[in-house]
């Protein structure tokens, strides 16, 4: 499967309220290295950046003039930043990510799956908010699955303000986030912090 066309974009920078180790910059850099098209958010608010990844696979009979099948998969990632994540705030973020993601999905005969991912960086993570993130479920099929389907990934990260020994990044995520999204975060933050699941 082919990677998306490389695009020129400015290097990620740390907003003034992000810690010096800058997990946001590390995440955006890792996304770019993985082939995502990263775009900083404009207009303020909790949304820091968005990233999109597109993949297409094709099968042929003898030559490209005789295609047997084609399938597209997409990832629409939205990264938010807040001081403290509460259940009402998570509800707003979830809705915002869904609306933004659904606007970008274009179902057609070769569309297989689109993931909409909401990733939240916070200084404090309420236990109730962590549980709400874990319980998040949303999926939708298009034309009874004939034009693919979409699924929502949800992940919240409590990032420490410094790097004292034994103070890891705590994460809470739904089942859909435990594969590719969590792996991406682990790759980005491993040089900076250890990761540990938020206690249930």
Torsion of CA 123, 127, 128, 132, to 10 degrees: 80
Answer yes or no: is pLDDT of 15 > 70.
Answer: no
What is the band of 100 on the pLDDT scale with cuts at 50, 70, 90?
very high
Q: Which of 26-35, 58-67, 179-188 has the lowest mean pLDDT?
A: 58-67
Joined together, the tokens standing for residue 84 give 């403290």
- Domain ranges in the chain? 23-197
Give the pLDDT score at 159: 92
Give the pLDDT score at 161: 74
């Amino acid at each position: 499967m082919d990677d998306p066309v490389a695009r020129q974009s400015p290097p990620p920078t740390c907003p003034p309220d992000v810690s010096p180790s800058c997990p946001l910059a590390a995440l955006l850099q890792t996304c770019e290295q993985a082939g995502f098209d990263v775009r900083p958010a404009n207009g303020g608010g909790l949304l820091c950046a968005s990233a999109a990844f597109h993949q297409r696979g094709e099968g042929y009979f003898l030559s490209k003039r005789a295609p047997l099948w084609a399938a597209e998969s997409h990832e629409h990632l939205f990264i938010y930043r807040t001081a403290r994540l509460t259940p009402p705030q998570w509800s707003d973020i979830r809705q915002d990510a869904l609306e933004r993601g659904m606007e970008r999905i274009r179902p057609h005969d070769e569309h297989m799956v689109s993931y909409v991912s909401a990733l939240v960086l916070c200084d404090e993570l309420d236990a109730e908010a962590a549980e709400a993130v874990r319980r998040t479920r949303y999926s939708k099929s298009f034309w009874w699955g004939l034009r693919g389907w979409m699924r929502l990934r949800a992940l919240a990260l409590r990032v420490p303000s410094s790097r004292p020994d034994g103070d890891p990044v705590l994460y809470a995520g739904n089942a859909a986030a435990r594969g590719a999204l969590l792996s991406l975060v682990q790759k980005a933050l491993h040089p900076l912090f250890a990761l540990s699941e938020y206690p249930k």
